[in-house]
Amino acid sequence: MSATALNQKIEKLKVIYVNNKLAAKIKSTGIYLLIPVINFAVSFFTSPIFAKYLSAEEFGYLGYYNTLASFLLVFSSLSLQTYFMSVYFKESEEKRLEIQTTLIAFTLLWNLLFFPISYIGIFLYLKLSHSQIPFYPFALLAMLTSVLGIFRGFVQVNYRLGRKPVKFLLIVSGYRVLTVVISLALVVYPKMHLQGRMLGILLVEIVFFIISLFSLLKGQKIAINRDIVKLAFRKVLPLLPASFLFWPMMSYDNIILERMHQPKEMGLYNIGKGIANYLFIALQSFFQTFEPDIYKYASTYNIKALKRTAIAIITLVVISIFVYWVLSPILIKYLTAGRFTGAIYYSNILAVTYGLIIIYSMLDAIILSWQQTHVNLVFNIIGAGLSLVSYTVAGIYFKQTGVATATVFTHLVLVSMLTFFVVKRIINHVPDQLVVNS
């Protein structure tokens, strides 16, 4: 075979490989995008029913306890899942399983200690702050659900980074469908109201907790390797305060709203936030499709591929926000059975925030792939400071609308600063280390 014929054959093989890789990516993306489709389909038929049986105040209570649960999740999870993601592609399968087993076992033991402490802490906080939010049973239901969900998260990481989109679809959408069905049954028939809504979620979480532990620990020697724990904590130690500091950006709005002592308006805000979250779920599913590639391209400095991926994500975010603005009045009127149309205004503002969070997550993934955990800490300090000040001031002078707008301002500033850092690091990177092939 001549050199020319050989080169032609090689080029044909390259084309076939690229086309097969593209087809696999399209198929994988399509499966991931089924998740928001399924989730929205379920909500489309059930949300109006929930709206008929739950009051605006109850939606406010639900949002408030979700806020507290997200705050405590920083300490109950210890960011160990993020560490596991950072080493997923760097370790052999045997070593990766050992790390996973150690992290799971340690997390279980840690929460046996932390859970009762945090539960008492919530009780004292509500009592001392003279809060009008009911404590029992909502605090218990929200906290148990949050802690048990940590282990389902490890399974989802394995499926996502291991490129198993079908299994990822089954666990994410399966969880969503079951929680809605069980919750709806408890809300409608025994008329348990918000208690039934939260209890239904917890019951499903318990089932998934058992399944997750079996999947994660099956065939493994259950032991805690101290060296792995020490190394993990050295890596995630900056992430702990960073995660804690990231919480105000996502959830401090509900703390400010609760202090206004207007539970109905807080309920409308959270209804709008919850419906805008459908947009976030859709965008997040798209982002998660490309997340393994972001980690791969960023860690190997494959700049061309990283740039294409970033442009695709940002373009979709912008288009999706505009489409949401057009459809939100119709969507919210239907999903709330016409009872809570006052949520439309808040929802449109918070849709922008959720779009910015996706872009921030993309930039943050790049930084974490470089293991620049101290940079993550710095930006979260900035974000926490901005959110604490802007949410508080906006709440004082502009009430609920001001708080919603402040969430957009905070995330826009962070995205701008993070973009500058990432671009500067790429430009300053040593040229002969760059991988230019896609």
Please say which residue of 195, 214, 237 terminates a domain.
237
The number of CA neighbours under 13 Å toward the Cβ of 209 is 15
Q: What is the pTM of this model?
A: 0.76
Q: What are the E-state strand segments in 268-388?
A: none
In a domain, 34, yes or no: yes
Give the model confidence (pLDDT) of 344-358 as tens digits. Answer: 999 999 999 999 999
Tally of helices (H runs) and strands (E runs) in the chain? 13, 0
Token pair of 57, please? 């105040």
* 183 and 138 both lie in a single domain: yes
In a domain, 389, yes or no: yes
Mean pLDDT of 114-136: 91
CB contact at 8 A, 173 and 38: yes
* 325 and 212 both lie in a single domain: no
In a domain, 198, yes or no: yes
* 255 and 324 both lie in a single domain: yes
* 313 and 427 both lie in a single domain: yes
Q: What is the 3-state secondary structure (H, E, C) of 235-274?
A: HHCCHHHHHHHHHHHHHHHHHHHHHCCCHHHHHHHHHHHH
Give the model confidence (pLDDT) of 35-54 as tens digits. Answer: 878 888 888 889 899 999 99
* 230 and 276 both lie in a single domain: no
CA pair distance 198, 54, nearest whole angstrom: 12
Task: Provide the pLDDT for residue 275.
Answer: 92
* 429 and 381 both lie in a single domain: yes
Question: DSSP assignment of 20-41, as one string?
Answer: HHHHHHHHHHHHHHHHHHHHHH
CA pair distance 257, 265, nearest whole angstrom: 8
* 72 and 139 both lie in a single domain: yes
**SS3 assignment, position 46:** helix
In a domain, 87, yes or no: yes
Task: Provide the pLDDT for residue 4.
Answer: 59
* 302 and 430 both lie in a single domain: yes
Give the model confidence (pLDDT) of 273-321 as tens digits. Answer: 999 988 998 888 788 778 888 888 888 888 888 888 899 999 999 999 9
CA pair distance 183, 198, nearest whole angstrom: 7
Q: Check pLDDT > 80 for residue 261.
A: yes
CA pair distance 391, 406, nearest whole angstrom: 6
Please say which residue of 237, 264, 297 terminates a domain.
237
* 217 and 305 both lie in a single domain: no
Task: Provide the pLDDT for residue 437.
Answer: 42
CA pair distance 150, 216, nearest whole angstrom: 12
In a domain, 13, yes or no: no
Give the model confidence (pLDDT) of 191-211 as tens digits. Answer: 889 999 999 999 999 999 999
> Structurally, how many domains does the chain consist of?
2
* 203 and 258 both lie in a single domain: no
Please say which residue of 211, 237, 263 terminates a domain.
237
Token pair of 108, please? 């279980």
In a domain, 11, yes or no: no
Cis amide prior to 137 (ω within 30 degrees): yes
* 71 and 220 both lie in a single domain: yes
Provide the Cα torsion 68, 69, 72, 77; round to 10°.
-160
CA pair distance 380, 369, nearest whole angstrom: 17
In a domain, 31, yes or no: yes
In a domain, 4, yes or no: no
Which residues on neighbouring strands pair with residue 302, listed in sequence order?
435
The kind and range of the H/E element at 378 are: helix 373-428
Which amino acid appears at position 316 of this protein?
L
* 201 and 259 both lie in a single domain: no
Give which of 122, 46, 63, 69 is closest to 265, Cα–Cα.
63
Range of the domain at 378: 238-438
Give the model confidence (pLDDT) of 368-416 as tens digits. Answer: 888 776 777 788 788 888 999 999 999 999 999 999 999 999 999 999 9
Give which of 165, 428, 153 is closest to 301, Cα–Cα.
428
